[in-house]
Amino acid sequence: MANKLNVLLLGSGGREHALAWKIAQSPWLEKLYIAPGNPGTMQHGENVNINPLSFEAVKAFCIDKSINLLVVGPEEPLVKGIHDSFATDERVNHIIVIGPQQQGAMLEGSKDFAKAFMARHGIPTAHYQTFTNGTFEQAKQFLRTLKPPYVLKADGLAAGKGVVIVNSYDEASTTLAEFFGGKFGDASRKVVIEEFLSGIELSVFVLTDGNSYLILPEAKDYKRVGIGDTGPNTGGMGTISPVPFATSNFLNKVEEQIVKPTIHGLKSDGIPYCGFIFIGLMNVNGNPYVIEYNVRMGDPETEVVMPRIKTDLLEMLEACGNGKLDKVKLEISQQTASTVVIVSGGYPGTYEKYKDIRIDTAVPQGAILFHSGTALRDGKPITSGGRVFACTGRGNSINEALNCSYSLVNCIYFDAMYYRNDIGKDLLNYF
């Protein structure tokens, strides 16, 4: 790299705090801005009050501050075309944008597109068909050919609520009617119905420039709100990396059967791609199947993935933007990282915000406190969302990492705070 970089990072969650934490360690960083950021990202750069969906405002800021590299944290600006908007505007088309253009973002923005992509490129995934209200009868017939439970997915983005798994044909048929009726607006006018895959889930993260790729540390996340994996799904209550059941044999299969055909498929379909791909996988008897693609990093997965990457992230991102990812040697720490998410009581349902937060200054060694849903009131931290903190711990075993995470959890106090006390416990038997 010849010059230091001015970087703008879009987003405001724990993922962005973890990205900011890592970017700020780079000797190649001139100045980091985060829009809009949170009190955590503020420790590593300057927060700027710009909505990531206001593309013109983002562009004007990039011109004003001579930004060299734009990192898009969440999917929505990508699905809505922020990268395309930069690529087609000569004032800003020299800026590296990390995150795909609209076409590539369809891998996350449309389940039907993603499934057709996988079918076309022979990537293992659940058997499926796509229906609309006009083919309701055919949808019911297709359901009859499947064994319960039934998996129904709204085609478009539905704030993480677009996947419904039900046990009876009647519930499936009612859900279909709700989806077609516009439960998630246009996002659910098309529905993917697919075979239920039985196994254990994990996620693999890839950074690609469209030709080369780096496979980042994998992670297992804990989606259910309740102890013992009970209750409703959340954005994520905790995560662990590495994943003990992701053996080198399994990860080789992921690379050969999924990562390579995905990158090759994008290329052969003429879809440029510069950015992260988050591949949600089901391990079915030792074989990987794709559950979903996301075109961004995961949250809270980023909060364990970034701490395990030893390589300079800015160097990786700059190489990615310049199509030189093959020149980067990725180094990963052998340590285990774990994250325990502290949420506002009631989440993912209704919960109260704006609670005063007390943080003990004695944060345990190796631990990192990532802010998700916090804000400042008179300079003091308060809660401002469902997921409030991601408490990352590191250690030489899952147990050590978890002890570190939970010691950090014990440093945080706010009214009605809640967290799962069993993150990673199911994995302890693997050693």
Measured from the CB atom, the residue of 163 and 332 that comes closer to ligand AMP is 163
Measured from the CB atom, the residue of 39 and 298 that comes closer to ligand GLY is 298
Q: Cβ of residue 14: shortest distance to ligand GLY, in angstroms?
A: 10
215 within 8 A of 232, measured Cβ to Cβ:
no
Measured from the CB atom, the residue of 12 and 294 that comes closer to ligand GLY is 294
Measured from the CB atom, the residue of 381 and 424 that comes closer to ligand GLY is 424
Q: Cβ of residue 347: shortest distance to ligand GLY, in angstroms?
A: 14
300 within 8 A of 14, measured Cβ to Cβ:
yes
43 φ, ψ (degrees, to nearest 5): -70, -15
Note whether 294 binds ligand GLY by CB under 6 A: yes
Residue 231's region, left for phi above 0, alpha for psi from -120 to 50, else beta, is: left
168 to 197: interface string for ligand AMP, x by CB under 6 A: --------------------------x-xx
Tokens read off for 49:
């009050």
Note whether 298 binds ligand GLY by CB under 6 A: yes
Residues 192-251 that bind ligand AMP (CB under 6 A): 194, 196-197, 201
Q: Cβ of residue 194: shortest distance to ligand AMP, in angstroms?
A: 5
Residues 229-258 that bind ligand GLY (CB under 6 A): 235-236
β-pairing, 374-377 vs 380-383, is antiparallel
Tokens read off for 351:
């919960």
d(CA 58, CA 55) in angstroms, rounded, equals 5
Q: Cβ of residue 298: shortest distance to ligand GLY, in angstroms?
A: 3
272 to 311: interface string for ligand AMP, x by CB under 6 A: --------x----------xx-------------------
Measured from the CB atom, the residue of 235 and 381 that comes closer to ligand GLY is 235
Tokens read off for 225:
């709100």
Tell me which of ligand GLY, ligand AMP, none is bound by residue 236, counting a contact when its beta carbon lies within the kind-specific cut-off of 5 to 8 angstroms.
ligand GLY
- Interface segment toward ligand GLY; rule CB under 6 A; list 99-107, 298-306, 329-337, 389-397: 298-306
| Nearest partner of 114 among 251, 275, 277, 250, judged by Cα | 277
- Residue 338's DSSP bridge partners are 240, 393
User: What does R_g of the chain's alpha carbons equal in angstroms?
Assistant: 21
Query: Contacting ligand GLY (CB under 6 A), which of 112, 218, 299, 303?
Result: 299
Note whether 151 binds ligand AMP by CB under 6 A: yes
Q: Cβ of residue 15: shortest distance to ligand GLY, in angstroms?
A: 7
E runs forming strands in 107-199: 128-132, 150-154, 163-166, 190-194
d(CA 224, CA 61) in angstroms, rounded, equals 39
β-pairing, 150-154 vs 163-166, is antiparallel
Note whether 209 binds ligand GLY by CB under 6 A: no
d(CA 221, CA 209) in angstroms, rounded, equals 26
Geometric angle at alpha carbon 395, from 317 and 41, rounded to 5°: 40
d(CA 323, CA 332) in angstroms, rounded, equals 22
Query: Contacting ligand AMP (CB under 6 A), which of 92, 95, 126, 139?
Result: 126
Tokens read off for 412:
């945080």
Tell me which of ligand GLY, ligand AMP, none is bound by residue 301, counting a contact when its beta carbon lies within the kind-specific cut-off of 5 to 8 angstroms.
ligand GLY
411 within 8 A of 345, measured Cβ to Cβ:
no
Tokens read off for 297:
């990093």
Q: Cβ of residue 233: shortest distance to ligand AMP, in angstroms?
A: 7
Measured from the CB atom, the residue of 199 and 323 that comes closer to ligand AMP is 199
Measured from the CB atom, the residue of 33 and 278 that comes closer to ligand GLY is 278
Note whether 265 binds ligand AMP by CB under 6 A: no
Interface ranges with ligand GLY (CB under 6 A): 221, 235-236, 294, 298-299, 301
